[in-house]
């Protein structure tokens, strides 16, 4: 997993509440292996018109947001089923952070384990940011995990909270298994000591 310390990137607005994981990755793609580029399935249906052509009004189809690494959404983003594929789709498309007032709990947990940082900011801050991104496509946002702050296009800085263990893993680009492996010498020492003391 790639370490996450700080990104300064174009932000993509998704100005709708309760975007669920089926909208992020439709269920018919869930059988695809992890080795596939799941980014090709991101918002597959809602970014298209009824005839299957790209919807020019959907932000992901607009050139100004090309290369976006931050997604900004309204409340309850990625609610619904627990599919990890939703995180894979965002990550494989290039997103490293998601900003919203609230997230589906399982999505937030899956994001942290897959290198996608969920950032909760107050609803009024997110609403103002969404307005800016719509009015000024291509605007950039800085997400700094080391300082736990988000800097918006207007220069305002907003702190966010994150679980210390998840922060450690993201900063170092490791998952839970790799973290446990780092502790192998201490685990071995404990087991040896325990064996001696309990003969």
Query: In sequence order, what are the residues at sequence separation of 6 or more whose Cβ sits closer than 8 angstroms to the Cβ of residue 95?
Result: 12, 68, 69, 70, 71, 116
The answer to whether position 22 is within a domain reads yes
Please tell me the total count of domains within the chain. 1
Q: Are 93 and 39 in contact (CB under 8 A)?
A: yes
Residue 196 within a domain: no
pLDDT, position 48 = 95
Task: Specify the CATH number for the domain of residue 141.
Answer: 3.20.19.10
In a domain, 185, yes or no: no
Sequential pLDDT tens for the chain (199 residues): 889 999 999 999 999 999 999 999 999 999 998 899 999 999 999 999 999 999 999 999 999 999 999 999 999 999 988 889 999 999 999 999 999 999 999 999 999 999 999 999 999 999 999 999 999 999 999 999 999 999 999 999 999 999 999 999 999 998 766 666 666 677 667 777 777 777 7
Within a domain: 96: yes
Residue 20 domain-assigned? yes
Structural domain boundaries enclosing 73: 6-173
Residue 174 makes CB contacts below 8 A (sequence gap 6+) with: 1, 182
Residue 184 lies in a domain: no
Which pTM does this prediction carry?
0.89
Task: Calculate Rg over the CA atoms of the chain.
Answer: 19
Q: Is residue 63 situated within a structural domain?
A: yes
Whether 157 is in a domain gets the answer yes
């Amino acid at each position: 997993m790639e370490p996450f310390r700080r990104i300064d990137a174009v932000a993509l607005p998704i100005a709708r509440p309760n975007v669920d994981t089926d909208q992020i990755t439709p269920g018919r793609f869930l059988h695809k292996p992890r080795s596939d580029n799941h980014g090709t399935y991101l918002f597959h249906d809602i970014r298209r018109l009824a005839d299957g052509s790209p919807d020019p009004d959907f932000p992901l189809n607009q050139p100004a947001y090309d290369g976006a690494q931050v997604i900004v959404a309204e409340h309850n983003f990625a609610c619904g089923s627990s599919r990890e594929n939703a995180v894979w789709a965002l990550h494989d498309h290039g997103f490293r952070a998601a900003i919203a007032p609230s997230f589906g709990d399982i999505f937030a947990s899956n994001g942290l384990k897959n290198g996608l940082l969920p950032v909760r900011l107050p609803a009024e801050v997110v609403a103002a940011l969404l307005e800016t991104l719509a009015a000024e496509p291509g605007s950039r946002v800085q997400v700094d995990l080391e300082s736990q702050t988000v800097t918006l296009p207007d220069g305002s800085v907003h702190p966010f909270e994150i679980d210390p263990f998840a922060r450690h893993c993201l900063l170092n680009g490791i998952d839970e298994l790799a973290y446990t492996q780092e502790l192998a010498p201490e685990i071995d020492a404990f087991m040896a000591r325990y064996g001696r003391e309990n003969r």
